[in-house]
Structure 1
Amino acid sequence: MGELIGLLKVTVVQGKRLAVRDFKSSDPYVIVKLGNQTAKTKVIYSCLNPVWNEELTFSLTNPAGVLNMEVFDKDRFKADDKMGRAHVNLQPIVSAARLSKILQVSSGETTLRKVIPDGENCLVRESSISCIDGEVVQVAWLRLSEVESGEIELKIKLVDSSNPTSAPHGTEELMLANRNSESGKK
């Protein structure tokens, strides 16, 4: 395991136009993975445009790697159906966090970087990485692959574990994130 960068707080905000996997709807949930750490949202029943607004916390180490997501339809009597997958390269947010430290950005809102959709990512549209009152945040809409339709909105926040003002409970949350990675669940 590499050097600890900080905490990655991933808010799974919502889904749009998800695929139908039951009779007329689906019961979607999202599994998010970073390395050997895994976390899952709650199930939203009978909904193709779910709103989760759930924050999942991971410990982030160098090299940053990729955040992977899979969307599933919860089924009661058989295996859950796949509803697509997506990924986000975390290197841009890590680079932006380094830049914010160098520039000593601590108040207001400053756009640090823009990431454009290409063949290497799942972005639906351009995604901005900003420093908002000292916190580095990326909002991204991701297109689900291996499925006929669907998009997921994420808000990704990188909390510097060495900055006590940005993470008042940083040590406790970091221990929890490390414990989650060992147990494989949130």
Structure 2
Amino acid sequence: MENMYLGLLRICVRRGLNLVVRDAHKASSDPYVVITLGKQKLKTHRVENSLNPEWNEELTLCIEDPCMPVKLEVYDYDTLTFDDNMGGAEIDIRPLIEVVKMELENFADGTIIKKIFPSRENYLAEESCVVFKDKKVVQDMRLRLKNIESGEIEIQLQWIDLPGSKGA
């Protein structure tokens, strides 16, 4: 049986803010981000000696099930030992998918279609908006990392329709 994807999710991992120190000898970290969805696993390059790294890297996942959580983990690269965990978050793509299903042709460029507020059920550090921009559906997010003292990750989601896909 062939896989029928709804579409592609492009995740631009922009930057980290106030990440935790994992290399005590230099009071810094060498962070990189790992994004997983089912068996798909993608990672950014590492930024050396930074607690506020700038990645600006685009990673793309194939989406089959919009209810399946996209997991984001931040790690500190270590040469001689296992990489240290610096926290994680889950990305809820359902609000983005709901907007993708709408008839958007009539919306003006830059229209905010949906607002999502931080809650106990999500990892948002601040309000996130799904916007119709340049004929695309995009969502900027600032995610608060869990199970860690501090740290946030800024990302942008963008939906990409696949020709012949079953659509969102």
Q: Does the pair score TM above 0.5?
A: yes
Partners of 2:129 and 2:42 lie apart in 1 by 25
Q: Given the superposition, is the C-alpha separation of residues 57 and 89 from structure 1 closer, same or farther in structure 2, using an over 3 Å criterion?
A: same
RMSD: 1.8
Partners of 1:134 and 1:64 lie apart in 2 by 24
User: Equivalent of 2:29, from 26, 29, 39?
Assistant: 26
**How many percent identity over aligned positions?**
39
User: Equivalent of 2:82, from 49, 62, 79?
Assistant: 79
Supply the AA of the counterpart residue of 2:144. R
Q: CA deviation at 1:97?
A: 0.7
* Structure with greater proportional helix content: 1
Give SS of 1:92's match: helix
Supply the AA of the counterpart residue of 2:147. E
Give SS of 1:77's match: coil
Q: Does 1:147 align with 2:148?
A: yes
Q: CA deviation at 1:160?
A: 1.2
Q: CA deviation at 1:107?
A: 5.6
What does residue 121 of structure 1 align with? 122
Q: Does 1:104 align with 2:105?
A: yes
Q: Given the superposition, is the C-alpha separation of residues 57 and 103 from structure 1 closer, same or farther in structure 2, using an over 3 Å criterion?
A: closer
Give SS of 2:20's match: coil
Give SS of 2:100's match: helix
Q: CA deviation at 1:63?
A: 3.7
Structure 2 unpaired stretches of 5+: none
Q: Does 1:55 align with 2:51?
A: no
Partners of 2:43 and 2:100 lie apart in 1 by 26
Question: Normalising by the residue count of structure 1, what TM-score does the alignment of the two structures yield?
Answer: 0.82
Deviations 1:115-135 (A, max 9, x none): 111111100011000110210
Q: Do the aligned residues in 2 keep the contact of 1:130 with 1:136 (CA within 8 Å)?
A: yes
Q: Does 1:67 align with 2:70?
A: yes
Partners of 2:132 and 2:37 lie apart in 1 by 23
Aligned length, in residue pairs: 162
What does residue 12 of structure 1 align with? 13
Question: Normalising by the residue count of structure 2, what TM-score does the alignment of the two structures yield?
Answer: 0.90
Supply the AA of the counterpart residue of 2:145. L
Q: CA deviation at 1:64?
A: 4.0
What does residue 93 of structure 2 align with? 90
